[in-house]
Amino acid sequence: MPPYRLAHLSDPHLPPPAGALGWRDLGSKRLLSAIAWRRKGSEHQPSVLQALADDVARHAPDHIAVTGDLTNFSSSAEYAAARTWLQTLGAAADVTLSPGNHDALVRAGAPSTFEPWREWLGDTPQVAFPALRERGPLALINLCSATPTAPWLASGRLGEAQLERLTQILTSLAGRDLYRVLTIHHPPAAGVVSGRKALEDAGALRALLAVHEVDLVLHGHAHEAAVSAIPGPQGPIPVLGVPSASAVGGRRHPPARWHSIEFSSDRRIRVVARGLSADTGRFEALGDYVLQAPQRR
């Protein structure tokens, strides 16, 4: 049986459409984000994102995971534009989105509970996190760390309700021969991002995962190719992050990259990194490695 293939990309930071901000936003955190976008927006190019999406499509993965930050200001106009972009990736049943901090920048003027993206968040009629999506040999568990924060902060939080439901989901999967993959925007491993960008209750999440089996955690937010690990009941749990899917690359951050992750029936996980080449301007294989997932008890 061929391996099941999951594509992971993150932080596309789609360009804000006309009318994304109004005069009421001048007194909110959106103004700070708009200033930052004027300074850093050139680092994110739609042509790079399109080239990455085309490369993903050529490899025809079975499923795609997008770990957040589709928008910059979390405005209604951006949500609508992001929905259109999500539709270009594939059917909603074949794409899972975990919202990022920019997708929940402020409460005012933002769609409630990410409703415009509901079909990409989970399989239930109502938006609820964590969302369990069973696809082939995978149990995809979609968490949401996106929450409005004070100015100058880009931190995230899951909250007690999500952590309790995550415990229930993982308990329900006990004894089933499925790869358990968590998707989340903020990295749960310590030291991947600075304190002002960190997951506030990462310690509680790590304590939970030290008891309940998970095979892989995928995140964004760092705009880096991050490889780390957190303790699990049968050994370290791999935690993987990717750079921004629209990044040109330069002094601040590396160019765009995505991961093709292959899950085999022998509990082997092969990760193939594909990134934007500065020499050719095309996406090329940068390398690959294999992770051995623990055998199910």
Asked if 219 contacts 184 with a C-beta cutoff of 8 angstroms, the reply is: yes
Say what the pLDDT of residue 245 is.
98
Burial of 39 (0-12, 13-18, 19+ CB in 10 A): exposed
The residue written with tokens 């995809």 in the block is 140
Residue 25 has pLDDT above 60, yes or no: no
Q: Please give the average per-residue pLDDT across 189-208, as a whole number.
A: 97
The rounded Cα 186 to chain-centroid distance in angstroms is: 8
Q: Which residues fall within 8 angstroms of residue 50, CB to CB, at 6 or more apart?
A: none
Asked if 136 contacts 146 with a C-beta cutoff of 8 angstroms, the reply is: no
The strand order across the sheet containing 95-97 reads: 95-97, 63-66, 4-9, 257-263, 268-276, 283-292
Q: What percent of the chain has pLDDT over 70?
A: 90
Backbone angles phi, psi at 155, to 5 degrees: -80, 170
**Domain assignments of the chain as residue spans, ordered by start:** 4-292
4-9 and 257-263: which strand pairing? antiparallel
Say what the pLDDT of residue 12 is.
97
Say what the pLDDT of residue 73 is.
84
Say what the pLDDT of residue 252 is.
79
Residue 271 has pLDDT above 60, yes or no: yes
Q: Pull the structure tokens for residue 289.
A: 């490695």
CA torsion through residues 27, 29, 32, 34, sign:
negative
Tell me the whole-structure pTM to 2 decimals.
0.94
Burial of 265 (0-12, 13-18, 19+ CB in 10 A): exposed
Residue 17 has pLDDT above 90, yes or no: no
Fold annotation for 4-292: Purple Acid Phosphatase; chain A, domain 2 (3.60.21)
Say what the pLDDT of residue 80 is.
93
Say what the pLDDT of residue 49 is.
97
Comparing 70 with 107, the larger pLDDT belongs to: 70
Report how far apart, in Å, the C-alpha atoms of 128 and of each of 56, 115, 164, 240 are.
28, 10, 13, 24
Average the pLDDT over each of 28-32, 129-133, 228-232, 256-260 and give the range with the smallest value. 28-32
Q: What percent of the chain has pLDDT over 90?
A: 75
Say what the pLDDT of residue 76 is.
86
Residue 201 has pLDDT above 70, yes or no: yes
The rounded Cα 171 to chain-centroid distance in angstroms is: 23
